[in-house]
Amino acid sequence: MASGRFFGEDERKQLIAACIPRTRLHIGDFLIDIVEDRRSQPRLFLCVVQRQGSPEVLFLGQFSQEPDAQAAARQFIANQLRAEEQEA
């Protein structure tokens, strides 16, 4: 019998996630994930902003360059903080 390694679902997801280029930034209690989609032509950068510990997506964008994705996320967070200060 051939000895092969079979991966469970969790292991498979971890292996796939490790192969996907991504950048994770923390600003205050906000979390920014920028994921590069290498399958698209031209390559795209998907940007997701969430609060740490929350599954809610506050901002989702698609950009052609990573610096643009980071700038949009930072601008969104600045606007969000400003709006929260005005509510207080």
Q: Walk me through the domains of the chain, giving residue ranges and CATH numbers.
A: 22-87 (3.30.160)
Pick the more confident residue, 73 or 38: 73
Can you list the alpha helix ranges (DSSP code H) found in the chain?
Answer: 9-19, 66-87
- DSSP class of residue 30 equals E
Q: Give yes or no for residue 1 having a pLDDT over 50.
A: no
Report pLDDT digits (tens) over 35-57.
998 888 888 999 999 999 999 99
Torsion region of 79: left, alpha or beta (phi above 0 gives left; psi -120 to 50 gives alpha)? alpha
Separation of alpha carbons 24 and 56, rounded Å: 17
Burial class (CB in 10 A: 0-12, 13-18, 19+), 20: exposed
